[in-house]
Structure 1
């Protein structure tokens, strides 16, 4: 097995993983910009759209991440990632062939099944390749797949849907992932594993036991879940808000939100990784304190943007909180890697993602969609705006949980 002892070899693996993660979020969030034409063609409610945007994907994604991570900890993580990419890309392409809500829901379930095997093994692989002093920055670079994938998905999906139709958008992004899979499989090799063979055979239940005994894990997991609930909710519904309340066309909304994700998200993630590695030199509390402060500062700025009626002003107001709410990724993901011995990192990451995604991804878009339907008699076309505003309370909860977690990290940390 390769050691990846040179900077160039580590950078190549990180670049390949970043591309896969970009496909992950491209396939996941292209649905957001396509929601309006799908709603129109299939005559869906906002609640049904919320199910397609969150619950359909998260249901199996969150649960299956555990067994896939367990397999990855015991076999070759690069193989698990390659197979996952093929599955989720194939189901994304199939979304373009559906003829109703039921078929589309099942295909989104399939996307979730595939993506369940992609993220946690990647976290563990990166943590094995990079030394601890560079780990947060490496995870930050990997996490750039979120704004890159989401932004490109929104921009590309909007352009294709406007020029052709929403079905073609699904087909193109799905087939692109299928084509890239063999390139990744032939390029990335499993690194030399750390830890003992006995540690790699520890049962999943025992890994859960290790994590369950650490308060920092629960506080980080539920803090991240609260942030993801509103984060994924806003990500799914903001294009629809721009079309309903700001009068934008689908193409204009895709330009607005795609640029917001790229311009705000990329600096936010990189800043989170840099500050986390700097904070790690003097103590462990910064890995949770930095995200906590960022969440709390973001709330009033997001609220002002949601309540504004000018697209230009809304973009300016959303830009800073968009960056702040991405800052949690590198610090928190790095901290989770250090709550267990190295051979158990994929399973620990999957346990964290189970909580984060089942609550955040599963309920975020659905909750805002349900609020929009419930508030429609009172607020009419502005019901979605009010539902998104109410969801911001989750960022307050997330910020407080992160601040409580900060002093507990030093005790629970494993080098």
Structure 2
């Protein structure tokens, strides 16, 4: 039987929660901060990297999108299967060490090809970061508190991006673009050792209802994959998230370059004001979304889909206004609203998938969710924007990057439609999840 949905009458868990779950959550969130910080440095330092290595917008989109995603998305699948059968904390620690070492290598790259190889290695390591963390959190917090916990965990991208902007831009402005990669890579290696020493592996399914959280062996790989890709609720959550990430990553990888090139910001201003927008906008959205989703799903599981659909409908007109804005202060005010509402999908989709599957399928299912949504969003979003920018500029558009960002707007509509479809299925299913085949 699948894990029970969050509802007012959730059955008693098979075991008591951990004594200090917030310590585990804080540690995992810090690792996620490093994970996203490493990933975002390329976009934050895009202009000095372009000046140093002669990289075009299209090449930048490929290295931050498709090349990175080929490793990040697909390696996550065997890593998820392995973590479901072994110690998830050890997998997380090793992954953190790998991506941090590769981040240091990015700072030592002397050519575009060397930077490509180093970024692929970062993607290889980061593939083992998020899926094990989702499963550890789910086995640390009981139903009814998971979306809020995942919402706090998902502050990692906001904090990581904000620190990356503030730290990366400030250090690059004072020294050069290589130093932030080297310093943050070293911090990540030390963190990996501390995670391995001090975080303990929670029991799988111990906090799920007694009838679903106990007596489960190791989940088989292909039956779990088959279950995921043939399960309409799981696939719609992944596709809706992918369409959303097409926008968020397409924008995120080029936002700093856009603000500097089109709106007149300099690195010193980016380090302060853009960092604040990320921290308050994206961070606030992550915290609010988790609590809103937990509240909405107490009465209807359709809240997992209605919340992101509604939030994206609010964000879309502000996104268009952001791209149009005539000055960077106005653009940042509009972007803060966009960031607040762009990320409701993440806590909703992750919590839904983790609730929908068996406890021994959670890491692999989380990896499959990330595969679909990140290959679409992370892999294709920045690639699309970079190639579109080069195309517009080659055809005489002096504001090619601005025109390229406008082309992301239809993906808001696609994501909203997919989440509304998901809401319809969840209403039809009723308060309890469907049976998930073994």
TM class, shorter-length: over 0.9
Once the two structures are overlaid, the 10-residue window that deviates more, 193-202 or 57-66, is 193-202
Partner of 1:258: 275
Q: Report Cα offsets for 1:371-415 as digits up to 9, x if no partner.
A: 000001445431101100111211211111011101213528269
Kindly tell me: are residues 379 and 390 of structure 1, through their superposed partners in 2, closer, same or farther at Cα, counting changes over 3 Å? farther
- Is residue 417 of structure 2 the alignment partner of residue 406 of structure 1? no
Contact residue 375 and residue 387 of structure 1 kept, 8 A: yes
Contact residue 338 and residue 414 of structure 1 kept, 8 A: no
The whole-number CA distance in structure 2 between the counterparts of 1:355 and 1:221 is 6
Partner of 2:130: 119
- Is residue 246 of structure 2 the alignment partner of residue 229 of structure 1? yes
The number of equivalent residue pairs is 413
Q: CA deviation at 1:4?
A: 9.0
Contact residue 84 and residue 219 of structure 2 kept, 8 A: no
Corresponding residue SS for 1:338? helix
Residue from 146, 155, 158 that aligns with 1:144: 155
- The structure 1 segments of at least 4 consecutive aligned residues displaced by more than 6 Å after TM superposition are 195-198
Partner of 2:186: 175
Contact residue 233 and residue 426 of structure 2 kept, 8 A: yes
The whole-number CA distance in structure 2 between the counterparts of 1:354 and 1:22 is 20
Partner of 2:65: 54
Aligned residue runs from structure 1 range 175-194, under 5 A? 175-194=186-205
The whole-number CA distance in structure 1 between the counterparts of 2:268 and 2:399 is 21
TM-score (normalizing by structure 2): 0.91
Contact residue 18 and residue 140 of structure 2 kept, 8 A: no
**Which has a greater percent of helix?**
1
Residue from 176, 191, 196 that aligns with 1:165: 176
Q: Report Cα offsets for 1:170-224 as digits up to 9, x if no partner.
A: 1011111111111111111001222689744232210122223321112111110
Corresponding residue SS for 1:328? helix
Contact residue 316 and residue 412 of structure 2 kept, 8 A: yes
Q: Report Cα offsets for 1:81-137 as digits up to 9, x if no partner.
A: 000000000000010111101100000000000000111111111111111110000
Once the two structures are overlaid, the 10-residue window that deviates more, 187-196 or 68-77, is 187-196
Structure 2 gap segments, 5+ residues each: 1-13, 206-211
Residue from 70, 74, 77 that aligns with 2:85: 74
Please provide the CA RMSD for this pair.
Answer: 1.7
Partner of 1:339: 356
The whole-number CA distance in structure 1 between the counterparts of 2:238 and 2:121 is 25
TM-score (normalizing by structure 1): 0.96
